[in-house]
Amino acid sequence: MKIDKKGLSLIAEFEGLSLKPYKCSASIPTIGYGSTYYENGTRVQMSDAPITKQRAEQLLQHTADRFASKVVNLLKKPVTQNQFNALVSFAFNVGSGALASSTLLKLVNVNPNDIMIAKEFLKWNKVNKVPVQGLTNRRIKESALYFTK
């Protein structure tokens, strides 16, 4: 499966756009729509030159495709396009390792339509054990997209 425009749009909405490098909440140099690496595997540096919006969109597609391939490898049951988009957005934000070890993925791999999955999305809204409204909003939207037919 591949992420589609709905999935990319969701990621872009919550990552926001920065044409100059900045440090994300985890203090990692980031550029564009939440990209921490370039296509060639080089890490983003704070000293990197600004990019254009078009370049940011290319990086977003590349980064999202990388996470999408990781999500595909983690899935044991077929999912809908919306379910896949939501899982890729989640992995883009928290990392594929976090998704791999999550109860969220365990539930998806037993029954992708289990309503308990919605609660699992919402558990991932904290930084240093403190709820963050932006993450809560993202998890609500990811969960809503996940359950959209």
Helix (H, G, I), strand (E, B) or coil at 37: strand
Rounded CA-CA distance 146/110 in Å is 16
Rounded CA-CA distance 133/37 in Å is 26
Residue 29 forms beta bridges with which residues?
23
Residue 32 forms beta bridges with which residues?
18
Q: Which of 13, 15, 57, 120 is catalytic?
A: 15
Verify whether residue 39 is a known catalytic residue. Answer: no
Active site residues: 15
